[in-house]
């Protein structure tokens, strides 16, 4: 104990060596971005996250655009917080895309979701952009081939810029791979859209003489591409809508995406429009996200929102037959809607767009996110404490106690642990660096239940024995 001034009597000191409690963050929070041209601009300003906790909070949003219908679809399924971001609807689809993509420096477009937590709102975990994701540009930068590798290039100072004829086209970004001063390849990090005519690739940096040629083609939707990065930052999932034309088109759309943060939904649903007095197609992504939020609240974030009934719809825009057709979509990581044996419409699919099979299930990805984030927040309590046996012990015990609780809840499987890594060195520790190892396993959903049935001809012998027994007892004659 630190020295204190003279005192005659008793005093109580609160020990700093106390356990740290770990709590998971709210996961049933939907982040919704879209348009609403006739919204109250004071209540719903552009590019500012607004928290909606109940349907009445959306009063003044208006019926135009994509936001109000999405809110209706969400609240048809569950009551949960919605972080709403309104963007301006452009004169063309690409202009609307540009507004939704926004700017990460000024926190506009989808980057406004990153402002929610600092603004005192819930942190969005289920991101949506209904009406803005269902088409893939056919005029983006699909690839860049290196013609001449040049010499003298340095990876940190080499830049690649892409421009269409007359400045047409936007959003494409690329990075050069440099080996021994030579540019060996150029990776398209964002394909952009709207490129027409010849495309110029400019390579700048310390080196000289490198050349490259860009090829245009069908590329990932720009809003989806931007959501991938925002979802990674927020440890969130983005639910996006495929074209809803054919199964093949949905699979081709999904084939452009490789991210464990993206969840593809197809087809659209049909909802009754009271103003038009007819059924109209609406994106299904708000329903998928809302049912996941409902599952989070009722069962836990380690449960997938699949195989659950849908409220508030009258049908799907194109029928998906359970069996061969739904298997084709699911096998290609497209999540869909089925009506099995006329028991009502239900969501059918648990797949992300990650090529790594370890992260193919949405519930596994979200469980890992929730636990990792909870541990990260909890261990902030230990930052700047001095090295001591007590503090190190509390760090280990804090993590282990939390993981035990998660196992009891069913969020993770047995076999978890927290420990001090053997890679800790005296030099690291002297600089205030301590390394912990954490292992746990989220439960995978049971997606393929295989039942093997057998003929049992021995049943005939059992039948004869029963008949003989009843004859001998007289019960058969009776």
> CA geometry: angle at 411 spanning 405 and 413, to 5°?
90
Q: Is the pLDDT of residue 2 over 70?
A: no
**Helix, strand or coil, per DSSP, at residue 296:** helix
Q: Is the pLDDT of residue 474 over 80?
A: no
Is 382 in contact with 20 (CB distance < 8 Å)? yes
Residue 80's pLDDT is: 96
Residue 306's pLDDT is: 97
Neighbouring CB atoms inside 10 A of 242's CB total: 30
Runs of H (alpha helix) within 265-412: 285-298, 324-331, 362-378, 389-409
Of the listed ranges 51-60, 189-198, 308-317, 444-453, the least confidently predicted one is 189-198
Kindly report, residue by residue over 118-148, the tens digit of the pLDDT: 999 999 999 999 999 999 888 999 999 999 9
Kindly report, residue by residue over 364-414, the tens digit of the pLDDT: 999 999 999 999 999 999 999 999 999 999 999 999 999 999 999 999 999
> 177 forms bridges with which residues in the sheet?
185
> Tokens in use for 11?
């005093």
| Cβ partners under 8 Å of residue 235, min gap 6 | 125, 369, 372, 373
Is 266 in contact with 135 (CB distance < 8 Å)? no
- CA distances to 40, 363, 440 from 407, rounded to whole Å, are 47, 15, 9
Residue 101's pLDDT is: 96
The structural domains of the chain, with segments of one domain joined by +, span: 30-134+222-359, 140-217
Residue 347's pLDDT is: 98
Q: String of b and e for 398-410 (b: at least 16 CB within 10 Å)?
A: bbeebbeebbeee
CA–CA separation, 180 vs 152, rounded Å? 8
> Tokens in use for 465?
């024995």
> Tokens in use for 104?
């990460």
> CA geometry: angle at 111 spanning 122 and 170, to 5°?
160
Kindly report, residue by residue over 326-352, the tens digit of the pLDDT: 999 999 999 999 999 999 999 999 999
CA–CA separation, 82 vs 29, rounded Å? 6
How large is the average pLDDT for residues 243-266?
A: 96
Q: String of b and e for 272-290 (b: at least 16 CB within 10 Å)?
A: eeeeeeeeeebbbbbbbbb
* pLDDT confidence tier of residue 48, bands split at 50, 70 and 90: very high
Nearest residue to 303 (alpha-carbon basis) of 292, 316, 311: 292
How large is the average pLDDT for residues 418-441?
A: 95
Residue 15's pLDDT is: 58
Q: Domain 30-134+222-359 belongs to what topology? A: Rossmann fold (3.40.50)
Q: Is the pLDDT of residue 358 over 90?
A: yes
Q: Is the pLDDT of residue 463 over 80?
A: yes
* pLDDT confidence tier of residue 19, bands split at 50, 70 and 90: low
Looking at every residue in the chain, the average pLDDT score rounds to 93
Q: Is 192 left (phi over 0), alpha (psi -120 to 50) or beta?
A: left
> CA geometry: angle at 308 spanning 369 and 316, to 5°?
110
How large is the average pLDDT for residues 189-208?
A: 91
- The 3-state secondary structure of 224-266 reads HHHHHHHHHHHCCEEEEECCCCCHHHHHHHHHCCCECCEEEEC
- The 3-state secondary structure of 125-174 reads CEEECCCCCCCCCCCEEEEEEEEECCECCCHHHCEEEEEEHHHCCECCEE
- Classify burial at 87, counting beta carbons within 10 Å of its beta carbon; exposed 0-12, middle 13-18, buried 19 or more: buried
Q: Write phi, then psi, for 233 (nearest 5 degrees).
A: -65, -40
The sheet that has 278-282: what strands, in order across it?
278-282, 269-273, 315-316
Q: Is the pLDDT of residue 237 over 60?
A: yes
Residue 197's pLDDT is: 84
How large is the average pLDDT for residues 264-291?
A: 95
Q: Is the pLDDT of residue 3 over 60?
A: no
Residue 230's pLDDT is: 97
Q: What is the Cα 160 distance to its own chain's centre?
A: 29
CA–CA separation, 237 vs 100, rounded Å? 17
Residue 275's pLDDT is: 86
- CA distances to 3, 118, 230, 306 from 31, rounded to whole Å, are 52, 15, 11, 20
% the chain with pLDDT above 90: 87
Q: Is the pLDDT of residue 477 over 60?
A: no
Residue 24's pLDDT is: 77
Residue 143's pLDDT is: 94
| Cβ partners under 8 Å of residue 53, min gap 6 | 81, 82
Kindly report, residue by residue over 148-196, the tens digit of the pLDDT: 999 999 999 999 999 988 778 888 999 999 999 999 999 999 899 989 8
């Amino acid at each position: 104990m630190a020295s204190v001034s003279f005192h005659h009597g008793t005093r109580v000191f609160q020990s700093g060596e106390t356990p740290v409690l770990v709590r998971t963050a709210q996961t049933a929070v939907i982040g919704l971005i879209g348009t609403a041209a006739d919204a109250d601009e004071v209540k719903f300003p552009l590019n500012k996250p607004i928290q909606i906790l109940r349907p009445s909070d959306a009063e003044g949003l208006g019926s135009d655009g994509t936001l109000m219908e999405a809110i209706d679809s969400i609240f048809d399924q569950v009551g949960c917080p919605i972080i709403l971001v309104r963007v301006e609807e452009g004169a063309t689809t690409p202009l609307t895309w540009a507004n939704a993509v926004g700017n990460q420096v000024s926190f506009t477009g989808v980057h406004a979701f990153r402002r929610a937590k600092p603004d005192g709102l819930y942190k969005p975990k289920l991101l949506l952009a209904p009406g803005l994701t269902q088409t893939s540009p056919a005029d983006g930068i699909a690839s860049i081939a290196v013609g001449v590798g040049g010499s003298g290039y340095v990876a940190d100072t080499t830049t690649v810029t892409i421009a269409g004829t007359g400045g047409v086209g936007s959003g494409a970004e690329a990075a050069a791979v440099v080996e021994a001063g030579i540019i060996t390849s150029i990776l398209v990090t964002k394909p952009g859209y709207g490129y027409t005519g010849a495309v110029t690739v400019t390579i700048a940096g310390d080196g000289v003489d490198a050349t490259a040629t860009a090829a245009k083609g069908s590329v990932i939707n720009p809003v989806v591409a931007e959501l991938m990065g925002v979802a990674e930052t927020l440890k969130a999932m983005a639910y996006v809508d495929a074209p809803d034309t054919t199964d093949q088109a949905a699979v081709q759309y999904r084939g452009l995406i490789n991210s464990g943060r993206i969840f593809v939904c197809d087809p659209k649903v049909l909802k009754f429009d009271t103003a038009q007095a007819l059924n109209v197609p609406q994106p299904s992504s708000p329903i998928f996200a809302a049912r996941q939020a409902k599952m989070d609240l009722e069962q836990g974030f380690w449960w997938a929102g699949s195989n659950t009934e849908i409220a508030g719809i009258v049908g799907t825009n194109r029928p998906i037959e359970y069996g061969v057709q739904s298997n084709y979509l699911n096998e290609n990581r497209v999540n869909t809607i089925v009506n099995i044996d006329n028991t009502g419409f239900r969501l059918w699919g648990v797949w992300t767009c990650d090529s790594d099979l370890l992260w193919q299930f949405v519930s596994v990805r979200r469980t890992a996110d929730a636990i990792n984030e909870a541990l990260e927040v909890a261990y902030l309590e230990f930052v700047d404490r001095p090295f001591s046996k007590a503090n190190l012990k509390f760090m280990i015990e804090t993590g282990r106690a939390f993981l035990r609780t998660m196992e009891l809840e069913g969020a993770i499987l047995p076999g978890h642990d927290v420990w001090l890594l053997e890679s800790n060195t005296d030099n690291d520790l002297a600089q205030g660096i301590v390394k912990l190892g954490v292992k746990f396993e989220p439960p995978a959903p049971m997606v393929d239940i295989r039942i093997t049935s057998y003929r049992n001809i021995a049943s005939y012998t059992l039948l004869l024995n029963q008949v003989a027994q009843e004859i001998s007892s007289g019960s058969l004659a009776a």
